[in-house]
Amino acid sequence: MPTILIETQIHAPAETCFDLMRDIRIHTETTMETDEKAIAGVTEGMIGLGQTVTFEGRHFGMRQRLTVCVTEFERPVLFVDEMTEGKFRSFKHIHEFVQVRGGTLMRDRLIWKSPFGILGRLVDELLLKRHLRNLVTARNLRLKQLAERRPA
């Protein structure tokens, strides 16, 4: 299964980074290029263990929906969300927050399986890996700016 690991150094406490990452309003604000909106489940506030959210956004020129459930939750070090409905065969996003000198190392690990066999794997390599990496990296940079502006 394809996997992407993205690490972002943030000069803010892990608690701040953790809470910003699970805040639905912040999610929609930091994914403006795909016009993400929470349309079902937890649509405002912070998502927690066992809760779901459905996001709708524009990817590759089409409106797409993805419903995820938070399956693991240990504030402020880890939460995992996994797809329950969407275009992927499976999709898992592991969010880790490691307290380091001067702040937090935020790790995003995305693991997925695309439909359509070999054609899906080809799309993964040609388009999807880059799209997901760019999407999460841009979101994390915006989140970093928000976290570093907050008082410690």
Is residue 123 very low, low, confident or very high in pLDDT (cuts 50, 70, 90)?
confident
Average pLDDT over residues 118-145: 93
pTM value is: 0.94
Sequence letter at residue 75: R
* Whole-number average pLDDT of the chain: 95
Beta-carbon count within 10 A of 57 CB: 19
**Long-range contact pairs involving 97-100 (C-beta distance under 8 Å, separation at least 24):** 97/14, 97/17, 97/18, 97/21, 98/14, 99/13, 99/14, 100/9
2-29 mean pLDDT: 97
Tell me the pLDDT tens digit for each residue of 37-96.
999 999 999 999 999 999 999 998 899 999 999 999 999 999 999 999 999 999 999 999
The span from the CA of 12 to the CA of 152, in Å, is: 7
Residue count of the chain, please give it. 152
Please state which architecture CATH assigns to domain 3-149: 2-Layer Sandwich (3.30)
CA–CA distance, 110 with 118 (Å, rounded to integer) = 20
